[in-house]
Amino acid sequence: MVVVAALVPACAAAWLVWDATSGPDDPGRNGDLPQNVRPHRSAAASAPSSAAPSSGAAKPLAGKVVVLDPGHNAQNSRHTSEINRLVDIGTARKECDTTGTATNAGYAEAVFTLDVSRRARALLEARGATVRLTYDGDRAYGPCIDERARIGNKAKADAVVSVHGDGSAAGNRGFHVILPAPVHRGIADTRTISGPSKLLGTALKRHFAAETGTRPSNYIGGGTGLDVRRDLGGLNLSTRPKVLIECGNMRDPKDAVLMTSPAWRQRAAEGIADGISAFLEDRE
């Protein structure tokens, strides 16, 4: 979708948003992608789509509130005492936050997640949504996982997506979406959001695969691209439909090539934005 040859009028708005968020030395500005990522025509490029409305069209996500939760914080390693503080997640007590992972070359997960979240925000706002980030490079550390959940709850978000990169062993490749298990313990109660969250996660999985050209995880989820967990505070404490996406494994050299590519990160943002859009529009 971001390769120059694949541009058509239906996705011109998304291109302009991406071009505005790329720097002059960004290789993605020239449509460059790693050689193993094939150009493709997405659904938005092959047919009229609400993903990129024309300037005169009604914005399909007007009135919707989306919260994007970029995982970790690049400054967390300087605040170990603060992020190691335990917080209540209903099923257990866990660290406030962690430092996250990085590629073997040192590209940090926190840098990746913030970049992708900002790109997705621009795309969703172009479709009319009100978008809030739990963290926008404006904090010394955190926020803690319980606060991340509260931000989405307080915003009365129609959808919340936490953006991450995994730190598994080399050879483990692909993305997966984590869904909240039905939990009713302590301060956690996800019983009313587990169903809608599954719909959100399924839409996100479908569109992320289509936009990025990457496969679901070969090491989690049995090839489905979906995983259900009850031990993640950001999901346990949410009262709004919420999922977490591990966009790839940053410790695998092949996935790392993708995740360090600005053009691929734009595709990742498009997949996230399209998945959220599909979920919200289906619920109308």
The secondary structure of the chain, three-state, reads CCCHHHCCHHHHHHHHHHHHHCCCCCHHHHCCCCCCCCCCCCHHHHCCCCCCCCCCCCCCCCCCEEEEEECCCCCHHHCHHHHCCEEECCCCEEECCCCCCECCCCCEHHHHHHHHHHHHHHHHHHCCCEEEECCCCCCCCCCCHHHHHHHHHHCCCCEEEEEEEECCCCCCCCEEEEEECCCEECCEECCCCHHHHHHHHHHHHHHHHHHHCCCECCCCCCCCCEEEECCCHHHHCCCCCEEEEEEEECCCHHHHHHHCCHHHHHHHHHHHHHHHHHHHHHCC
On whether residue 150 sits in a domain, the answer given is: yes
Distances 121 to 85, 106, 160, 198, 225 between C-alpha atoms, Å = 30, 25, 12, 22, 23
Backbone angles phi, psi at 105, to 5 degrees: -90, 0
Backbone angles phi, psi at 270, to 5 degrees: -65, -40
Q: How many domains, in total, are found in the chain? A: 1
pLDDT at 48: 32
- Tens of pLDDT along the chain (284 residues) come to 333 333 333 333 333 333 333 433 333 333 346 655 544 434 333 333 334 444 546 899 999 999 999 999 999 999 999 999 999 999 999 999 999 999 999 999 999 999 999 999 999 999 999 999 999 999 999 999 999 999 999 999 999 999 999 999 999 999 999 999 999 999 999 999 999 999 999 999 999 999 999 999 999 999 999 999 999 999 999 999 999 999 999 999 999 999 999 999 999 999 999 999 999 999 87
Q: Of 82, 246, 281, 284, which residue is the catalytic one? A: 246
Is residue 246 annotated as a catalytic residue, yes or no?
A: yes
**CATH number of the structural domain spanning residue 139:** 3.40.630.40
On whether residue 238 sits in a domain, the answer given is: yes
On whether residue 37 sits in a domain, the answer given is: no
On whether residue 79 sits in a domain, the answer given is: yes
Domain residues for the domain of 108 are 61-282
On whether residue 262 sits in a domain, the answer given is: yes
On whether residue 143 sits in a domain, the answer given is: yes
pLDDT at 33: 61
On whether residue 42 sits in a domain, the answer given is: no
On whether residue 4 sits in a domain, the answer given is: no
